[in-house]
Amino acid sequence: MTDTAIEARGLGKRFGRRNALDACSFRLPAGRICALVGPNGAGKSTLLTLAAGLARPSGGGLRRDLDRHLDRGTRVHRAGDGSGAGAG
């Protein structure tokens, strides 16, 4: 099985009453090149902000194994557990 660099399950992010992401799920294999495309307001920047660990999700979970490839360990961010920006 291919190593996974980033995996999201039911990932969500709310800003006030507005959903920027709602139940986003995907798996990005390590060592692959990918593109993130969509119309304005689709949540692309929000997804990248969450993946970079600069914000906490409002729902679901995000596993980043990118750090493992840099010998820093796997980071897991889940909604409401305080593991967002500055954790780890």
State residue 88's pLDDT score: 42
Q: Which tens digits make up the pLDDT trace of 25-64?
A: 999 998 888 899 999 999 999 999 999 889 999 999 999 8
Q: What is the mean pLDDT of the chain?
A: 81
Percent of the chain predicted with pLDDT > 70: 72
55 CB-contact burial (10 Å; exposed 0-12 / middle 13-18 / buried 19+): middle
Q: Which tens digits make up the pLDDT trace of 8-26?
A: 999 999 999 999 999 999 9
In contact, 61 and 9? CB cutoff 8 Å: yes
